[in-house]
Amino acid sequence: MKLSAISHLSFAALLAAGLSACGGSSSSDSDTEQGTTDINLSFAAQLNSAELQCGLNSETVGSAQTPADIKYFGAYISELEVATATGEFQKVTLNSAENSDVERGISLITFCGNQDAVSEETKVYNQIQGTVTESADYTRVRFTLGVPEQYNHLDATQTEGILAKSIFMHWNWTAGYKHIRMDVAGWNIHLGSTNCSGEGKEDPDSICSNDNRPTYTLDNMDLSADKIVFDYATLVNNSDVSMNTEMTPPGCMSGGTDPECGEIFKALGLDLATGQCLNNNCDTQEWVRVEKK
């Protein structure tokens, strides 16, 4: 009897050790009991290696090396997924948080408060948290910049949370949202869907032929030790942000014929004419990368 009991205990111990090994150590937090993995992603904005601080940066950017007087930087993240080094991508179910719309799978990240004196939008959101239903060591992240088309024409005046009109990310002339908003003195970058058709500015059935939503994949990432960096200096590296073509909006507002949008769209990995990824691969971009925290 004693030998039998010892044998059962030994088997149980080996089984527990085996299960632990299969679960593996993860760069994110694994809940092996329920077979899930908690995903915690950190985001940052930089000017090359310097932290982007709205209203406080002294670095120069662009082809004319112009001081970067950035007033606001916000972006929507959707279709968030993770994968192991060789596995299939798994959907991340967002946790309930002030900067996430769990039902629609959209998060808002911001890197500095709006410097506009009349604005109440001053919060910084640089974390996204969620859960994946399988426990594994995830090292790849994939996401889309922007609000998915099925939600892009909501009535922002009747919507709560991060898609509310008060968030300042709404583009009223197309009843759509700005996927990215960078307010810079004299040279803004507002990325949103274009060539939209509809009846009126609040038509929920509007259709946009140019999505302008880049999808990026980041490899070799330690989700616990690394952060996802948005580098404004790299984005405008080939643009002269000290000048703007006459009779066009300041900077790039995603216009298909705006001369200031050509280099910006290339840096985003997008084809300005179609709004799709250049050569079907937005990962040609270099302005979003992985760095140690």
44-91 tens-digit pLDDT: 999 999 999 888 888 899 999 999 888 889 999 999 999 999 999 999
224-274 tens-digit pLDDT: 999 999 999 999 999 999 999 999 999 999 999 999 999 999 999 999 999
Exposed / middle / buried, residue 262 (Cβ in 10 Å: 0-12, 13-18, 19+): middle
Determine the Cα–Cα distance for residues 257 and 276; give it in Å rounded to an integer.
Answer: 16
Residue-by-residue DSSP string for 90-108: EEPEEPP-TTEETTTTEEE
pLDDT averaged over every residue in the chain? 85
120-164 tens-digit pLDDT: 566 889 999 999 999 999 999 999 999 999 999 888 888 889 998
**CA angle, 180 as apex, 174 and 185 as ends, to 5°?**
100
pLDDT at 26: 41
User: Contact at 8 Å (CB) between 220 and 291?
Assistant: no
User: Contact at 8 Å (CB) between 240 and 187?
Assistant: no
**Which DSSP state fits 52?**
P
User: Contact at 8 Å (CB) between 255 and 174?
Assistant: no
Residue 175 φ/ψ region, left for φ over 0, alpha for ψ in the -120 to 50 degree band, beta for the rest = left
* Phi–psi pair at 3, nearest 5 degrees: -60, -40
pLDDT at 142: 98
Q: How far is CA 50 from the centre of its chain?
A: 20
Res. 25: pLDDT tops 60: no
DSSP helix/strand/coil, 170: strand
pTM for this model (two decimals): 0.86
178-235 tens-digit pLDDT: 999 999 988 999 999 999 887 666 666 778 899 999 999 999 999 999 999 999 999 9
Res. 1: pLDDT tops 50: no
